Amino acid sequence: MQFYVTTPIFYVNGSPHIGHAYTAIAADVIARFHRLDGRDVHFLSGTDEHGQKVEKAARDVGLEPQAFTDRVSAEFRTMLARLEVSNDDFIRTTEPRHKQGATALWTQLAANGDIYLGHYEGWYAVRDEDFYAEADLTTHPDGTRTAPTGAPVEWVREPNYLFRLSAFQDRLLAHYETCPDFVGPAGKRNEMISFIRGGLHDLSVSRSSFRWGIPVPGDSDHVMYVWLDALANYVTALGYPDRTGPLWRFWPADLHLVGKDIQRFHAVYWPAFLMAAGLPVPRRIFAHGWWTIEGAKMSKSVGNVVDPLALVDTYGLDPVRYFLLREVPFGGDGDFSARALVGRMNVDLANDLGNLAQRSLSLIAKNLSGLLPEPGPPSEEDRALLGMAAALPARLREHVGRQALGDALEETWRVIRAANAYIDHQAPWALRRTDPARMAAVLRVLADTIRVVATVLQPFMPGSMARMLDQLGVPEGERDLSALDRPLAAATALPPPQGVFPRWVEEAA
Ligand code: MSP
């Protein structure tokens, strides 16, 4: 069964930061989990390169927009690679395949009578690439006005093409009614419904006061509004308008993962564009929260922008991936601090999981010549722990299926904590003299439990979990969820155990 998941395409007006890394890592975990579960996955990311904001950023550094976007888009590609994000494709909105597809989408909307030439007069925030009503603005003592997001607005008056969004109000509401899972988390669904019920105005979908965009078919005085251009990426990357190509089988998308700031574009405008074009709408749009840094909003002027690659250089990739998804429930806001990251590294990773594996594997190395023992006759406690471990894949499928990535980790840690209690209680080191057969049975229970844990954690921490599975002697082709039904071969020679998660010790100042 197919599974198509997307990240938002990133604006190339500045370098990647932790917020971008977060969206990408979360989508990666979801893509990897579905692959592990045997699904035919297509995972798309890319860059959003047109519009006034990008044009201005290029001008500010004295570059032509294309040269500038080439450079910044490459930085995003590098970020994804360094974060081990496993996207299958990367689309740039300046690529011919995208321009052709977006042009075809426009032509289709116009042919159906849903785009007409009009006039726009109102407030526009370049930073958000969004239109605002007067009533939503804050007026400052110096007379300037800002949007609710804090972005400065400017008065725009120009001839524009408009999309007949108002005509889709009822169809959108009906869709929300029949597909209760269309938008998540649940609170966001209600927010979107109230926005639609509040009345939809036709949407300006072209701009005529600057040039950096895809020309409107048949009227090159206009370029397409950057959000129509950008949203189209999810279908142009599949080959739209050609619906007979090999990738079209992935449409409609199973999941558009987005930040809460851009939910409305995805959950209102995008389905309306698709309905107008006669295309099926995505199955689900899930919005995650925002990170602040040590309590403050991240901003270039404050100088607290966190570079994800610098973090990875310092702490290692998997601790960063783990921290971001574990620290806050997915869908909520979070606060980033190095202290909290180090806490998670030392407690969850080094103590709980790292020690569990290290203790179990070194006992096998020392007392059983490094050979994986046979399962013994199970005790009540063995059954309880193995039962918890066996239930994990199904529990995680459920959590990941509703994007509850923090819950998936918490559920896994429940098993890890139970395994630590089990090892303390069974004390296999003491059984070595008194009951070696029982010691072997206990170590096998532990090896089997760690195997399940390491298997289900691969999407979150691919590198470290690969190393843990290597140490358990799990063959490379036997690491997906279905392989868990097949027991490991007894007497497999395990490599010498090595710590996977070192403790982080602050250097003395
Ligand atoms: N180009 C648009 C998306 C178009 S999709 C058709 C865009 N780009 S963005 O680069 O500004 O944002 C990309 C993603 O990063 C969004 O999901 C956004 O929510 C996320 N984040 C940006 N800053 C963030 C934080 N401080 N915290 C968490 N995520 C944040 O929007």
pLDDT at residue 270, as a whole number: 98
- Does the residue 284 lie in any domain? no
With beta carbons less than 8 A apart as the criterion, state whether 182 and 174 touch: no
- Does the residue 411 lie in any domain? yes
Ramachandran bin of 369, using left for φ above 0, alpha for ψ from -120 to 50, beta for the remaining angles: left
Q: Could you tell which of 20, 90, 236 is best to mutate to test the pocket of ligand 1, judged by most ligand atoms within 8 Å of the CB?
A: 20
CA of 346 to the centre of ligand 1 (A): 30
CA of 225 to the centre of ligand 1 (A): 18
Residue nearest to atom 12 of ligand 1 (CA): 10
- Does the residue 130 lie in any domain? no
Nearest Cα neighbor of 488 from 452, 453, 463 is 452
- Does the residue 379 lie in any domain? yes
pLDDT band at 507 (very low <50, low <70, confident <90, very high): low
Strand partners, 160: 118
pLDDT at residue 217, as a whole number: 97
User: Is the pLDDT score of 430 beyond 60?
Assistant: yes
Q: Which domain holds residue 404?
A: 338-485
Q: Work out how many domains the chain is built from and give that number.
A: 1
172-187 mean pLDDT = 97
pLDDT at residue 301, as a whole number: 74
CA of 154 to the centre of ligand 1 (A): 22
- Does the residue 405 lie in any domain? yes
CA of 11 to the centre of ligand 1 (A): 8
Strand partners, 134: none
What is the atom index within ligand 1 of the atom nearest the CA of 234?
A: 6
128-157 mean pLDDT = 91
pLDDT band at 302 (very low <50, low <70, confident <90, very high): confident
For residues 220 and 507, the model is more confident at 220
- Does the residue 431 lie in any domain? yes
CA of 483 to the centre of ligand 1 (A): 37
pLDDT at residue 509, as a whole number: 46
CA of 79 to the centre of ligand 1 (A): 14
153-167 mean pLDDT = 95
With beta carbons less than 8 A apart as the criterion, state whether 393 and 484 touch: yes
**pLDDT tens-digit readout, 402-420:** 999 999 999 999 999 999 9
5-30 mean pLDDT = 97
329-337 mean pLDDT = 95
Average confidence score pLDDT of the chain:
96
What is the atom index within ligand 1 of the atom nearest the CA of 291?
A: 27
489-505 mean pLDDT = 94
CATH number, position 355: 1.10.730.10
Percent of the chain clearing pLDDT 90 (strictly above): 93
Nearest Cα neighbor of 470 from 451, 491, 457 is 451
CA of 507 to the centre of ligand 1 (A): 34
E strands, 53-101, in order: 89-92
pLDDT band at 366 (very low <50, low <70, confident <90, very high): very high
User: Is the pLDDT score of 6 beyond 80?
Assistant: yes
Percent of the chain clearing pLDDT 70 (strictly above): 99
CA of 213 to the centre of ligand 1 (A): 20
CA of 260 to the centre of ligand 1 (A): 9
User: Is the pLDDT score of 300 beyond 80?
Assistant: no
What is the atom index within ligand 1 of the atom nearest the CA of 292?
A: 26
Quick one: tokens of 237? 């990357």
**pLDDT tens-digit readout, 187-242:** 999 999 999 999 999 999 999 989 999 999 999 999 999 999 999 999 999 999 99
Q: Is 122 helix (H, G, I), strand (E, B) or coil?
A: strand
pTM above 0.95, yes or no: yes
d(CA 359, CA 363) in angstroms, rounded, equals: 6
* DSSP annotation of 249: G
pLDDT band at 508 (very low <50, low <70, confident <90, very high): very low
With beta carbons less than 8 A apart as the criterion, state whether 356 and 416 touch: yes
- Tokens 């526009």 sit on residue: 124
- Does the residue 450 lie in any domain? yes
155-169 mean pLDDT = 95
- Does the residue 408 lie in any domain? yes
* Half-sphere CA count of 269, side-chain side, radius 13 A: 22
Q: Could you tell which of 7, 262, 333 is best to mutate to test the pocket of ligand 1, judged by most ligand atoms within 8 Å of the CB?
A: 262
Residues with a CB atom less than 6 Å from ligand 1: 8-11, 19-20, 22-23, 48, 230-231, 233, 258-259, 261-262, 290-291, 298
What is the atom index within ligand 1 of the atom nearest the CA of 261?
A: 19
Residue nearest to atom 24 of ligand 1 (CA): 19
pLDDT at residue 125, as a whole number: 92
